[in-house]
Structure 1
Amino acid sequence: MANKFIDYSYFINPFSSRRRPALTRELTKLHYMAPKEAISLAEGMPNEATFPFEKLNVVMKDGSSFSIKGQQLGAALQYIPSQGYPPLVQLLKEFTQRVHNPPNWDQRELMITSGSQDGISKSIEMCLQDGEPVVVQNPLYAGTEGVLKPFKPTLIPVEQDQHGMIPHSLRRALEEWKIKCAIEGGGYKMPKLMYINATGSNPTGTTMPLERRLEVYQICCQYNILILEDDAYCFMNFSDETPPSFLSLDVEGRVLRFDSFSKVLSSGLRLGWVTGAKPLIQNIELHIQSAYLHSSTLSQVLTYNLMKNWGFEKLLEHFASVRSYYKARRDLTLAAMERHLKGLCDWTVPAGGMFVWIKVRGVADVYDMLMTRGIKKMITFVPGHAFMADPAEACSYIRASYSKATPKQIDKAMSLLAELIREEQLLLRRKLENCT
């Protein structure tokens, strides 16, 4: 990884660069590294003897089980280093190497976050200043738009097709912005961040092929852009092969990758991790130190035991079963849409994830249709506005999730949606006739 070619201070904003490690947090690291005979009166840790928990027994659906007790239970209920529970940090490093095999691994670091959203939020807080531009795929994950909004950024939207972000659209958007910077002078800066969700994208369900990933990566290298790779649906890609991640292609150290177990183990565990160049991860750690010290220790110890109990092979087998489960749900949802929405809507087949992105014909803006009249029919979908770079613009798209509702409920919802769309189209025709 070419640290000598990248000035990471360029990506870290002045507010973040003023952060310094907390001495008490550094001493917590030493506590976990120190020999058993070492004596410390430094930590402000409560004594585990006062905790009322004796043992936790965990029984898995496959019949396997494990217990958390004694010293490990004490650790699970205690403060830990901000980076995470050391045995789990090491295990996730091995897992990340196994799955992604990033180049120049010795120059990277990994830290555990409270879900991938936490890592994305801390990274944006580290990098962005008020009003700075950010490149985003359009549509984009609504949670990221929520993190960006307080910074009042100028979003540079890049259109997608059935294969995700379009490289020539990315290059054109950056060239146009470069011209604007030259004309306007100091009032405009080039973007230093790009957010992308390239596998099983939320909300579109698209997965970017390798050739396109390589082209997007090269463009980001050319324009010195840090790639925020949100890959929460990495293990929910429905194709025979998942394209290599941006992290696995990253020879320059310009990818911050956000992983999550929320979709494949448990969303309530709130367990994710961020991987990237050491200077960036070290700075993200300072943000976590000052915010909440560290992610839930109990969730981390539980996950560590699960991974050790199963091993990587069985863990990946479980992920494959999750993938099959959602693929079957996708297929029955598409079948219901074919029955009820054909001729009323257009859609592409989701390549992964939990959502289908639907364009309604003849309805320029679906917001009132869904949020007023749709709710009266006892059906809820998300209007596409929630995912657009400019949510104020009219939008004819709908995001439908096939993750939770039963097959019968999905079929009924699509039938009611068809009824709702016909009513909306009729209403619009009558309004047009009255105007003329």
Structure 2
Amino acid sequence: MAGAWPNPEFFLIKDISLTLKDGSKLDVDRSLVTRAMQYSSTSGFPELIKWVKDLQEKVHKPPTLEITDENKQLDIIITNGSQDGICKTLEACVSAGDNVLIEVPTYAGTLAILNPLKPKILPVESDKDGIIPGSIRRHLSKWNPEDSQNPKSSIPKILHCVPNGGNPTGSQLTWERKKAIYKLCQDYDIIIMEDDPYFYLQFSKPYVPSFLSMDVDGRVMRFDTFTKVMSSGMRIGCLSGPRALVNKIIQHQQVSAVHSSGLSQVALFTILQEMGHTGFLQHCDKVADFYKRQRDACLAAANKHLSGLAEWVEPSGGMFVWLKLPQIKDTYKLIWEKAREKEVLFVPGNAFMIDSSVPCQYLRSAYSLVSAEDMDKAFERLSAIIKEELKQ
């Protein structure tokens, strides 16, 4: 008589059958459906957690699987997409006035989470090879490594980065830089938030090893998602990290979402179980190959219409090309007003900057949904808009 669970007699769904695009049909195990209709474990369905944990072991081989300190052992929570885990982690770890290391430019959603928390954001420079370790080192030069043991110190506790196919840059953090960054975070006892939704959309193999794969200390919080390769509407991601920190996120989940959608979890698990880890990775390869072709079409259109007007670096993965218009002081009005009038949409670069009010010469172009023909039209129109702007 203690439980506040609704009576399942009135739950309307009894069976779930899934029809996949290849025509095959999967029946979700009825016992899973029954469990999915009721409240369940905050951390996620045990079957899905095990599948994900086995995948992490297969792909990343995390040292924290074998670590003896229980607080640092690898643990996992299923989240409502990876952004849910990022939001909860930042809310747990960041207070007003805290110094936080953030790669710039960065995902606009991360900035939207951070800004209400009112930290002091320390922008970490990046280029085509991702975060520049020297930029982190310059920020940290204000402190000594021993300051990390002083609770009253203002030393940064968090580094957030998007290491693969970054939104918006499409850049990829190299293995050599990752090693240097991890060493810096060891020296100054910094938690690495490895926000990696595009990990499986890398355009070359083998995959660049993750921070999780080198984490001997239990300082990496890794955020994965099934959004980019399975379904964005399912809203299923996962957070992998040291148990002590993951437990805090589980407590947050208990008082916010309670748990991720049971129906989404069992539907996804049924598909993943049928595919197996090998089948899942093969599927990811097909998705990455598609986006690589899209990238190539996007770059071909850019070369055709924007040579001499824009600069860009070939993306290593993901869905975006990051364009610089060196002759335009600020892209905001050009994109939000003039480009929209010509019925073409991009995102002005200031959306991905710490201070969006500062003039920015960049824009983000997404090639995930657009045909090669429409990409050609889009850059043709953008070229005309830039040329018209330069005449004024």
Letter in 2 for 1:396: Q
CA contact (8 A) 2:200 2:288 kept: yes
Residue in structure 2 matched with residue 255 of structure 1 by the alignment: 220
Residue in structure 2 matched with residue 376 of structure 1 by the alignment: 341
Residue in structure 2 matched with residue 145 of structure 1 by the alignment: 111
Q: Matches of 1:178 and 1:393 in 2, distance apart?
A: 29
Post-superposition Cα deviations, 1:9-57, rounded to whole Å, max 9, x if no partner, equal xxxxxxxxxxxxxxxxxxxxxxxxxxxxxxxx54322233312223221
TM-score, with structure 2 as normaliser: 0.94
Quote the offset at 1:69 in angstroms.
5.2
Matches within 5 A, 1:38-77: 41-68=1-28, 70-77=30-37
CA contact (8 A) 2:164 2:199 kept: yes
Letter in 1 for 2:204: S
Q: Matches of 1:158 and 1:239 in 2, distance apart?
A: 26
CA contact (8 A) 2:14 2:34 kept: no
Quote the offset at 1:346 in angstroms.
0.3
Indicate the RMSD between aligned Cα atoms, in angstroms: 1.6
CA contact (8 A) 1:54 1:69 kept: no
Classify the secondary structure of the residue corresponding to 2:143.
helix
Quote the offset at 1:376 in angstroms.
0.7
Quote the offset at 1:381 in angstroms.
0.5
Q: Matches of 1:208 and 1:61 in 2, distance apart?
A: 34
Post-superposition Cα deviations, 1:173-220, rounded to whole Å, max 9, x if no partner, equal 221x439xx9xxx99711110101001111100111111100011011
Q: Matches of 1:426 and 1:130 in 2, distance apart?
A: 46
- Tell me, which stretches of 5 or more residues in structure 1 are unaligned? 1-40, 428-436
Post-superposition Cα deviations, 1:242-297, rounded to whole Å, max 9, x if no partner, equal 11100111111110000000000000010000011111001110000000100111
Residue in structure 1 matched with residue 169 of structure 2 by the alignment: 204
Residue in structure 2 matched with residue 225 of structure 1 by the alignment: 190
CA contact (8 A) 1:347 1:356 kept: yes
Residue in structure 1 matched with residue 127 of structure 2 by the alignment: 161
Quote the offset at 1:151 in angstroms.
1.2
CA contact (8 A) 1:257 1:276 kept: yes
Quote the offset at 1:372 in angstroms.
1.1
Q: Select which of 66, 85, 90 maps to 1:124.
A: 90
Residue in structure 1 matched with residue 81 of structure 2 by the alignment: 115
CA contact (8 A) 1:233 1:352 kept: yes
Quote the offset at 1:413 in angstroms.
0.5
Aligned identity (percent) is 40
1:318 matched to 2:283: yes
Residue in structure 2 matched with residue 95 of structure 1 by the alignment: 55
Q: Matches of 1:135 and 1:386 in 2, distance apart?
A: 18
Residue in structure 2 matched with residue 215 of structure 1 by the alignment: 180
Q: Matches of 1:235 and 1:419 in 2, distance apart?
A: 36
Q: Which structure 1 residue ranges, 4+ long, deviate > 6 Å from structure 2?
A: none
1:238 matched to 2:203: yes
Post-superposition Cα deviations, 1:375-412, rounded to whole Å, max 9, x if no partner, equal 11111100000111222211000000000112211110
Post-superposition Cα deviations, 1:301-332, rounded to whole Å, max 9, x if no partner, equal 01110111111111111000000000000000
CA contact (8 A) 2:81 2:237 kept: yes
Classify the secondary structure of the residue corresponding to 2:381.
helix
Q: Select which of 391, 408, 411 maps to 2:356.
A: 391
Residue in structure 1 matched with residue 240 of structure 2 by the alignment: 275
Stretch of structure 1 that moved more, 299-308 or 385-394 = 385-394
Classify the secondary structure of the residue corresponding to 2:385.
helix
CA contact (8 A) 2:161 2:195 kept: yes
Classify the secondary structure of the residue corresponding to 1:400.
strand
